[in-house]
Amino acid sequence: MYFKDAINVNVHGFDGVHISINGDQKKLWLGESKLYSRVMATVPG
């Protein structure tokens, strides 16, 4: 899913979109994944 919310802004994107409904409560979950060529690149420090 991608969207553009202003003329001078780059297109935004999400890898996952989920909606959960529990009674009257509704939640929108937007997720993004990252891929790395090395596992150690994901570990801070």
Instruction: Check residue 14 and give its pLDDT.
Output: 72
Separation in Å, CA 30 to CA 1, 4, 12, 39, 42: 10, 15, 11, 24, 21
What digits encode the pLDDT tens for the residues 13-43? 777 888 999 999 999 988 877 777 777 666 7
Instruction: Check residue 26 and give its pLDDT.
Output: 96
Instruction: Check residue 38 and give its pLDDT.
Output: 73
Question: Residues 18, 1: contact at Cβ < 8 Å?
Answer: no
pTM of full prediction above 0.85? no
Instruction: Check residue 24 and give its pLDDT.
Output: 96
The DSSP symbol for 39 reads: G
